[in-house]
Amino acid sequence: MLFSYNWLQSFFKGKLPEPKKLAELLTLHSFEVEEVKKQDKDWVFDINVTPNRGTDCFSHFGIAREISAFTKLKIKNEKLKIKEDGKTRINDFIDVKVDKGADCPRYTGRVLIRIKVGSSPKYIQERLRSCGVEPINNIVDAANYVMLEIGQPLHAFDLNKISNKKIFVRRAKTGEQINALDDKTYKLNENNLVIADSEKMLAIAGIKGGKDTAIDKNTKDIFIESANFEPSLIRISSQELGLKTDASLRFEHWMDPNMTESAADRLAQLIQEVAGGEIVKNRIDFYPKKILPRKLKLDLEKAESLLGVNLGKKEVINILNSLGLKTKADLTVEIPTWRPDLVQNEDLTEEIGRIYGYKNIESSFPKLALAPAKRNDNISWGDKIKDFLRQAGFTEEYNYSFISRKLGDMAEGGLVELENPFSEEFYYLRPNLLFNLWGNTQYNIKNLNTEQAIKIFELGKVFKKYKGEVIEKKSLSAIMTGKDSFYALKGVIDSLFEKLGISDYYFDEYQATPESTEFNLWDREAMAEIKINGKELGFLGELKLPVLDKNGRDCKIFAFDIDMEALVTECNEEYEYMPISKFPAAIRDIALLVPQDVRVGDILNIINTSENKYIRDVDLFDFYEGPQLPEDRKSLAFHIIFQADDKTLNKQEIDLAMKKITDALEENDDWEVRKSA
């Protein structure tokens, strides 16, 4: 919104700061000055006034009052002087009827007779042009001038063009039309508030006047309208008609009904100065429900606490009074009706702070006790798990919590269907994380130019329906491609559980239960249950979901799926300290030819129990199935690490331990120890 420097200066007794300095001060006191530019003999400020200050700061006087508060310059106290013609009365010239007080809370009017239409004085034309308004004639210019001066929109009608000297403020009837001052015809409806006489439309209330009662060179008598309209009605009409004016902008932001009287008098005075004529005695004033100033008691202690500075009662009273907020010694503040934005203590505190100057408030640390946030195990352990998997070369995925209808058909029940699905692709809440990870794998294999194994994981919520209730819980899943990925993923789980302080876990053969769902996703011949103390924690194995590479060949994909909430309950930050042996370790290898259905875990159990004194670790390092072996056989090779805490093991001791292990393994008739070293 544009403001004239010379016009602002006219309100003050003293000299305003230079234009650019004034712009800096306005900015420091919470006004955004977008531009300051020289225009002829004036300077123009483009100030972005926030919507909550439209009632008082969409005017030069409102901005001047703000400037006065932070510069301490006094505003001229010029009283309005109205010279009325004692021989005439307004009721003899015009009658006004308002249909609904809610649509028009106040309607004030004055009549001037025997005026002379002509050009405006030079100072009015210059100030209007500075604010982007083109002069028309002394009557219209005076109305625009007063609007820009004090903020109240006004309109002047040619009194002799009003039929039967009656004005009606009412809603338009659907289909009614008005020929507006912009030479356009607007079709109206019941949403539009209008000013009309007994025969025609005179104006679209609060937006635009009509041509039928426009001021022209033959106008002698005028009726001044100074009204207050319901903001929502003006906004609706403005949007429907595509008509935005200076008047509608102000009415949309709510105007103070108590301003209409002084605005009408100020315009009557100015017209008398520039166009002559007599002001008819009395006013038309419809004001059924008066709005009175509110009172608010300022809590000084709270205000100073919010600002972080002790100003003292005297300083606070001076600041509030400088803004036109009458403040008593007990800090009871009378809120004028032109400040509807001030409704609570915090609003008054903001006013005090911005006028005092935020730059004058020194920064300081808050004086309060800061209690540390309560630990959330799900978040804490979740972060550790994600960090570990990222360090292990996995990429974290973030997928939608939905799956398609087609994927849902692959599950075995327990699905939660959306009441209003977005599409076929977002039909169910996801029952597991594997469906979406599978989709990520398909995309990556087809679109990424890499021969490396794909390693991705996700930690998130899954949803299942059980006995009519929706169960929501967190899950941890990962997918890895490659034929040996089963053992690689098992190693990842081993390392992860070690990191989480979990030791009493094991891998067991999958046993289906009546509650089991979705296991048609897994190859049941190549999967294992992850258990702790006999309790199921999750699954590890090969997925049956098909994945094709760029050449159309099948890719094996392996995955693990773990109940995150059950896992967190087993996590432990306590570690038992085990001193590192200062004696060297010895490694021996052993290979077995065993039937296809023999599990690695069974072999590890026999190795560890046959000689548990010196064995530190056993690792599977080779797995082979091929044409050199019988169809029902597979070869497994293990590293066995021996180490003592009190001595260096000699060859005889290690050979004896290996013999015990070999004998224990060969107790199984169909197991063959192929070699040892």
Q: What is the pLDDT of residues 201-211, one digit of tens each?
A: 999 999 999 99
Share of the chain above pLDDT 70, in %: 96
CB distance 73 to 144 below 8 Å: no
Kindly report the CATH number that applies to the domain delimited by 84-286.
Answer: 3.50.40.10
Q: How far apart are the first and last CA of the chain?
A: 92
87-105, pLDDT tens digit by residue?
A: 899 999 999 999 999 999 9
119-165, pLDDT tens digit by residue?
A: 999 999 999 999 999 999 999 999 999 999 999 999 999 999 999 99
User: Which range, of 2-16, 204-218, 351-365, 505-519, averages the lowest pLDDT?
Assistant: 505-519
The Cα-based distances of 401 to 386, 389, 458 in angstroms read: 19, 21, 12
The Cα-based distances of 512 to 3, 509, 558 in angstroms read: 80, 10, 19
C-alpha span between 416 and 429 (Å, rounded): 6
Q: At CA 317, angle to CA 316 and CA 321, rounded to 5?
A: 120
C-alpha span between 24 and 4 (Å, rounded): 16
Residues of each domain in the chain carrying CATH 3.30.930.10? 377-570
Instruction: Kindly indicate the confidence band of residue 572, based on its pLDDT and cuts at 50, 70 and 90.
Output: confident
Closest CA to 246 of 255, 591, 187, 640: 255
pLDDT at 495 over 50: yes
| The pLDDT of residue 43 | 96
Spatial CB neighbours of 245, under 8 Å, sequence gap ≥ 6: 207, 208, 238
Q: Would you tell me the crossing angle of helices 345-356 and 300-307 to the nearest 10 degrees?
A: 50
pLDDT at 340 over 50: yes
Q: Residue 130 is encoded by which pair of tokens?
A: 């500075």
Q: May I ask the CATH architecture of the domain 377-570?
A: 2-Layer Sandwich (3.30)
> How confident is the model over 2-8, as a mean pLDDT?
96
User: Which range, of 201-215, 382-396, 588-602, averages the lowest pLDDT?
Assistant: 588-602
Residues of each domain in the chain carrying CATH 3.30.56.10? 2-71, 294-360
pLDDT at 656 over 60: yes
The residue type at 384? K
Instruction: Kindly indicate the confidence band of residue 465, based on its pLDDT and cuts at 50, 70 and 90.
Output: confident
pLDDT at 179 over 70: yes
Burial of 368 (0-12, 13-18, 19+ CB in 10 A): exposed
- The SS3 of residue 163 is helix
Between 3.90.550.10, 3.30.56.10, 3.40.440.10, 3.40.50.2300, what CATH number should domain 294-360 receive? 3.30.56.10
398-436, pLDDT tens digit by residue?
A: 999 998 888 887 776 788 888 888 888 888 999 999 999
pLDDT at 484 over 90: no
| The pLDDT of residue 407 | 84
Burial 67-103 (b: 16+ CB within 10 A, else e): bbbbbebeeeeeeeeeebeeebebeebbebebeeeeb
Mean pLDDT of the chain: 90
| The pLDDT of residue 450 | 58
Instruction: Kindly indicate the confidence band of residue 677, based on its pLDDT and cuts at 50, 70 and 90.
Output: very low
CATH superfamily to which 586-676 belongs: Ferrodoxin-fold anticodon-binding domain (3.30.70.380)
Spatial CB neighbours of 381, under 8 Å, sequence gap ≥ 6: 500, 567, 568, 571
Residues of each domain in the chain carrying CATH 3.30.70.380? 586-676
The owner of tokens 């300095």 is: 21
Rounded to 5 degrees, φ, ψ at 36 are: -130, 120
CB distance 251 to 225 below 8 Å: no
pLDDT at 643 over 70: yes
The owner of tokens 């994981």 is: 457
The owner of tokens 């159990």 is: 605
The owner of tokens 């209409």 is: 260
| The pLDDT of residue 610 | 81
The residue type at 272? Q
C-alpha span between 31 and 269 (Å, rounded): 32
| The pLDDT of residue 670 | 87
CA dihedral 210, 212, 216, 218 (to 10 degrees): -160
| The pLDDT of residue 575 | 64
Instruction: Kindly indicate the confidence band of residue 107, based on its pLDDT and cuts at 50, 70 and 90.
Output: very high
Share of the chain above pLDDT 90, in %: 63
Residues of each domain in the chain carrying CATH 3.50.40.10? 84-286
pLDDT top residue among 368 and 584: 584
| The pLDDT of residue 552 | 67
Listed in sequence order, the DSSP H helices in 258-404 are: 260-275, 300-307, 313-322, 345-356, 377-391
> How confident is the model over 470-487, as a mean pLDDT?
89
pLDDT at 675 over 60: no
C-alpha span between 395 and 469 (Å, rounded): 33
Q: At CA 516, angle to CA 515 and CA 517, rounded to 5?
A: 115
pLDDT at 449 over 70: no
Q: What is the pTM of this model?
A: 0.59
CATH class as words, domain 2-71: alpha beta
236-291, pLDDT tens digit by residue?
A: 999 999 999 999 999 999 999 999 999 999 999 999 999 999 999 999 999 999 99
pLDDT at 512 over 70: no
